[in-house]
Amino acid sequence: MLNVDLHSHTNVSDGVLAPAAVAKYARQAGVDVWGLTDHDEVGGIAAGRAAAAAVGLGFVPGVEISITWANQTVHIVGLRIDETNPVLLAGLGATRSGRDARGREISAQLAKAGYPGAYEGALKYVGNPDLMSRTHFARYLIECGAASNIGEVFRKFLSEGKPGYVPHRWASLEEAVGWIKAAGGIAVVAHPGRYKFSPLAEGVLFDEFKQLGGSAIEVVTGSHTPDQYPVYAELARRYGFLASRGTDFHAPGESRADFALLPPLPSGVKPIWHDWF
Ligand code: AMP
Ligand code: MN
Ligand code: MN
Ligand code: MN
């Protein structure tokens, strides 16, 4: 069976490794087909595609778009996109544009909480100045000794209600799905089990997503706990969504799942790649 992994990050967003290094790392871990889905950015795709070809790894160009839906941040993955599409590029550019100001505000909040200089500190971890992420602040706070790992630093400082959390309004669901479709791609709800929606609200999200032309949800992802795999497999069946799978890899040792360890999709769902090869 093919190991198809359709969600990962490079240092073009909040991952640590350059695209070519992620390609090598994934190949060595046994991945056969690799999807690169940096946040709000497609700047790593050309390098990722070339590196994948060089190591005999199948390649799927993708992106993970930040949106705001019902006052929460939700991520929509686009797969098999044309990364040169002007509609997509304009939308992603607009999405990225608020990140630097948000970073400065996060830094101001962290200073009040006793951690000055966080903007400059986080910048040391930023690979792409257009894409300053909470993850870069997390790495800096760990460096300061404020927490010992990524999960803890998000719990203590960077999630809603915590001292370094700055609310932000991203794109709409309709915009993100529209950009992905304009670029010839397939839209996927990323890690649905991570949001804090009631079952009712989650159902409304899925209905709206489907109406807008969305096709799939992630079922097996490093951002789900294993007990969520069958839950989202069942929801994929119920809503008629294809099922996607991917580690959500950010860095060796830092992510909740590594390429070699992610289980296959449960039986009874239709893999998003069912007609790709
Ligand atoms: P941003 O897009 O700047 O708001 O940052 C979001 C990123 O932070 C996500 O893509 C994850 O990589 C990371 N993140 C958010 N929450 C957590 C968490 N609880 N544990 C680890 N990483 C997280
Ligand atoms: Mn991330
Ligand atoms: Mn995500
Ligand atoms: Mn991700």
Task: Write down the pTM of the prediction.
Answer: 0.98
Q: What percent of the chain has pLDDT over 70?
A: 100
Instruction: Report how far ligand 4's centroid is from the alpha carbon of 86 (Å).
Output: 23
> In the chain, where do the E strands start and end?
4-5, 33-36, 58-69, 72-79, 186-189, 216-221, 242-246
Q: Could you tell me if the CB of 8 is within 6 A of ligand 1? A: no
User: Tell me, what CATH number does 77's domain have?
Assistant: 3.20.20.140
Whether 32 is covered by a domain: the verdict is yes
Residues 201 and 234 in one domain: yes
Residues 145 and 58 in one domain: no
Query: For position 225, what pLDDT does the model report?
Result: 96
Is pLDDT of 120 > 80?
A: yes
Q: Which two tokens stand for residue 245?
A: 């799978």
Q: Which domain holds residue 109?
A: 99-158
Residue nearest to atom 13 of ligand 1 (CA): 135
Is pLDDT of 255 > 80?
A: no
Residues 14 and 107 in one domain: no
Residues 58 and 78 in one domain: yes
What's the domain count of the chain? 2
User: Tell me, what CATH number does 132's domain have?
Assistant: 1.10.150.650
Distances (CA, A) of 43 to 9, 63, 84, 169: 12, 10, 10, 23
Instruction: Report how far ligand 2's centroid is from the alpha carbon of 267 (Å).
Output: 28
Of 112, 129, 158, the position where a domain reaches its end is 158
Query: For position 94, what pLDDT does the model report?
Result: 98
